[in-house]
Structure 1
Amino acid sequence: MNTRRNFIKTSIAGAGAMALNPLNMLASEGSAKLKKFGFISGIAGEAMKADWKGTLKKAVEFGFSELEGGTNFASSPQEFVSFCKEIGIQPIAGSVSFRSSNEELKKSFDKIKAHGQEYVLDYWPWYGDVPFSFEDCKKSAERLNEVGALAKNHGLKFLWHNHDNEFREMEEGLPFDYLMENTDPKLVNCEMDIYWVKKGGGDPLGVLKKYTGRVPILHVKDMAPDEDFICPGRGIIDFGPIFKEAKKQGIEHYIVERDNEPDGLGCLQSSAEFLKNLRF
């Protein structure tokens, strides 16, 4: 058996952490570990809605130090920024739709900056639905460059977020490759979702290596044996080699995500335990 599988960590705090896949716990020959990691607020949407301050405090206790989204629960940007600073969590990214008008985007950018966020994301950079065509890609790439320029003028960094269909062949190659190759790296980059790359039939490690310098944020989401979503550390994705390459590239942001999670706080706790203990 591979030596990286020989040691299984058994002393994990919290009931949620007990569901971790033991094969993933210290699954690496290396000694590197993540210096910091964050989460997307939607993973604990109900908890945030009920008590956003209490939820963020819990997340910090678990080990999280960065946050994507979550600003809509505070009464003002000042309250949000002040509380995050008080408990030690850094807001890093907000989102927009590139289908919005330029004037609407500028207002959104102002809000994102007011909340102390550095990145602006588009989670669905497409005008149409799947499957994507070459024409869809062409239109999307043109608009992404426009929005990226607007974001840069506001002092923000613009990223688009992938799903699985960007890794399904169209008339000429993959939509993912088209968007990466036809957007300006000075204006547009990618928040790469590890789960969705694998779901689409791609290789997350290979994609990361191919587009060195183009992925400043990783969405850390795991895959269950049936290919459904699952909290990081409970599934079949081997994060060690991906994180090792990310470290080599200087990637600093690792954001935990799990769509449609019924137990947000439990998922955050087990994910934090996994990421704190992972060596690569």
Structure 2
Amino acid sequence: MNNRRDFVKKGIAGVFAGSMFSLSENSEAKTLKEKKEDTFKLGIAGYSFLHFKLDEALAMMKKLNVQYLCIKDFHLPYKSTAEEIATFHEKLKQANVTGYAVGPIYVKTTQEIDNAFDYAKRVGVKLIIGIPNHEDLPYLEKKVKEHDIRFAIHNHGPEDKLYPNAASIYNLIKDLDPRVGICFDMGHDTRDGRDAAADLGKYHKRIFDMHLKNVTAAKKEGSTCELGRGIIDIPAYVKMLRKVKYSGSCSLEYEKDMKDPLAGIAESVGYFRGVCSVV
């Protein structure tokens, strides 16, 4: 008799637990269904593949299921012919990858600025990531207006005497044509003693692109690490991305283990997607 009672109790408990599990599953599914798709997209900065040929880089991107690439010149040289550019884009298409921008490009003269815009036009992108001299900013603005191609200036941390952080860029471009903006490197910004999430909030209207990374310390000696292992609060950063409705690319720039980066890139991509799914 006692055995029968125990059996019934366990049966009822099992049904109840099953119902609660089903309810929890349905609730979670409903929450996921109701969650809006993010306005930003995940990409990879081409510099992450410095030591790899294009085919090898695209094979890694396919494994990661990442579809956006910022094009570097070691994969598509500045002097590429129309045929070489067409072949390049066909390879990207076969890998389900879109090349959305070119750079970073150091443009130290007005002639190099001309060359950068010519390159972007021939490649067929509407965004250049670059580093111009301060005195050439008026000329850069002229070219932006002429070509209707946006130019995002990249910050490089405390070693960079031109653009160490986002504020240093914004203060120079705030009165220029709105197509002159920022490629926000959140890691270098942090290495310069800044709060990356706060700077994203302050300057988001002029941030066209961003290099997604984490660093080991908020000082010059800080180095790039896997996205979930550094000092930047990535969940807080994702919340800010959503708060400001950032609609550009968050392109992972992975500079650790650059001759064997796949594991670190995969960990970082997985971490970022995980954070985006729960915050």
Shift of 1:250: 2.8
What fraction of aligned residue pairs are identical, expressed as a percent? 20
Conserved? CA contact 2:110–2:139, under 8 Å: no
Q: Which gives a bigger RCO, structure 1 or 2 (Cα 8 Å, sep 6+)? A: 1
Structure 1: which 4+ aligned runs deviate by more than 6 Å?
none
Conserved? CA contact 1:160–1:191, under 8 Å: yes
Equivalent AA in structure 1 for residue 266 of structure 2: Q
Shift of 1:38: 0.9
Q: 1:120 — aligned with what?
A: 128
Give the direction of change, closer, same or farther, for the CA distance of 1:214–1:166 in structure 2 (3 Å limit): farther
Shift of 1:77: 0.8
Give the direction of change, closer, same or farther, for the CA distance of 1:178–1:219 in structure 2 (3 Å limit): closer
In the TM superposition, 1:24-39 aligns within 5 A as: 36-39=41-44
Shift of 1:55: 2.3
Aligned with residue 277 of structure 1, among 266, 274, 278: 274
Q: Deviations over 1:164-207 (max 9, x none)?
A: 23899x9xxx9753531331151311111111111111111111
Q: 2:114 — aligned with what?
A: 106
Q: How many residues align?
A: 227
Cα distance in 2 between the residues matched to 1:176 and 1:59: 28
Shift of 1:260: 5.0
Cα distance in 2 between the residues matched to 1:167 and 1:71: 22
Aligned with residue 208 of structure 1, among 185, 200, 208: 200
In the TM superposition, 1:83-102 aligns within 5 A as: 83-95=91-103, 96-102=105-111
Shift of 1:91: 0.9
Conserved? CA contact 2:46–2:72, under 8 Å: yes
Cα distance in 2 between the residues matched to 1:208 and 1:185: 20
**Residue 236 (1) aligns with residue 236 (2):** no
**Residue 46 (1) aligns with residue 48 (2):** no
Q: What SS does the aligned partner of 1:165 have?
A: coil
In the TM superposition, 1:116-195 aligns within 5 A as: 116-122=124-130, 124-126=131-133, 140=134, 142-165=135-158, 176-183=166-173, 184-195=176-187
C-alpha RMSD of the superposition: 2.8
Which deviates more from structure 2 when the two are superposed, residues 193-202 or residues 179-188?
179-188
Equivalent AA in structure 2 for residue 265 of structure 1: L
| Higher Rg of the two aligned structures | 2
Equivalent AA in structure 2 for residue 181 of structure 1: N
Q: What SS does the aligned partner of 2:153 have?
A: strand
Cα distance in 1 between the residues matched to 2:125 and 2:193: 32
TM-score of the superposed pair, with normalisation by structure 1: 0.71
Shift of 1:40: 1.3
TM-score of the superposed pair, with normalisation by structure 2: 0.71
Equivalent AA in structure 2 for residue 215 of structure 1: I
Conserved? CA contact 2:213–2:254, under 8 Å: yes
Conserved? CA contact 2:167–2:199, under 8 Å: no
Q: Can you give the 5+ residue segments of structure 1 that lack an aligned partner in the other structure? A: 1-30, 127-139
Cα distance in 1 between the residues matched to 2:177 and 2:196: 19
Shift of 1:69: 2.0
Conserved? CA contact 1:159–1:189, under 8 Å: yes
